[in-house]
Amino acid sequence: MGNIKETFLNPIFKGNPISVLVLGICSSLAVTVQLKGAFVMGLSVIIVTGISSLICSLLRNTIPNRIRIIVQLVVVAMMVILVDQVLKAYAYSVSKTLSVYIGLIITNCIVMGRIEAYALGNKPFASLMDGLGNGVGYAMILVIVAFFRELLGSGTLFGFQVIPQAVYDFGYMNNGLMILPPMALILLGCVIWVQRSIQKDLQEK
């Protein structure tokens, strides 16, 4: 049980796929203008990574080595299509906002990387926990970046106004730079810097 717990928690903190391994950067920069989009994208990746890792682990002894990448892509694509259809049915506005980025989960380095590096060599439950942990680690960074971008850039959180009008009356203005793509990269760099300041073992000698 201890190993399973470590398998789940390690990618959330010590081995975070974005802030430590620097994977999945493109989508983390593109969908973090609003918390709602970042939350849905993160949840989608959690589901796809977890279930895809589980399925590939269950099939690991039956997949011929020469076609394993093709099988992985088929499994991931199946999960992404299911998630995309559910979003279109129940959260169409969010699905429209995220646009092609949901579909691009198929090529996400985190999803394919965990299947190839972990799921194909470990038991199903451990693979599920590894996939879920990496998904949660990815989603956590998305939510952190989106929180500051939406709050400082629009004065809202999940679309609701949180900065009182009185603050604007005193001359406060939303920072328009926050909603531009370069600020996502800068904020992500700040997150990486904070984590490396806390985790000394991540610092280059």
Query: Per-domain residue ranges for the chain?
Result: 31-196
pLDDT tens profile 40-66:
999 999 999 999 999 999 999 998 889
User: In this model, does residue 204 exceed pLDDT 80?
Assistant: no
Give the tens place of pLDDT for each residue, 81-124. 999 999 899 888 888 888 778 888 888 888 988 999 899 888 99
User: At residue 161, what are phi and psi to the nearest 5 degrees?
Assistant: -65, 125
For residue 161, the cross-strand partners are 156
| Average pLDDT over every residue of 165-190 | 86
CB 178 within 8 A of CB 153: yes
Mean pLDDT for the stretch of residues 14-20 = 87
What's the pLDDT at 205?
A: 66
pLDDT-derived band at 172 (thresholds 50, 70, 90) equals: confident
State the average pLDDT for the chain: 88
Per-residue pLDDT at 28: 76
- Phi and psi angles of residue 195, each rounded to the nearest 5 degrees, phi first: -65, -40
pLDDT in the model for residue 153: 87
Residue 24 clears pLDDT 60, i.e. is over it: yes
Predicted confidence (pLDDT) at residue 133 exceeds the cutoff of 90 = yes
Residue 53: which region, alpha, beta or left (left: phi > 0; alpha: psi -120 to 50)? Answer: alpha
CA 113 – CA 126 distance, rounded (Å) = 15
Q: Give residue 170's pLDDT.
A: 84
pTM of the model: 0.90
Higher pLDDT, 84 or 205: 84
- Position 202 scores a pLDDT of 73
pLDDT above 70 for 2: no
Instruction: Tell me the β-bridge partners of 157.
Output: 160
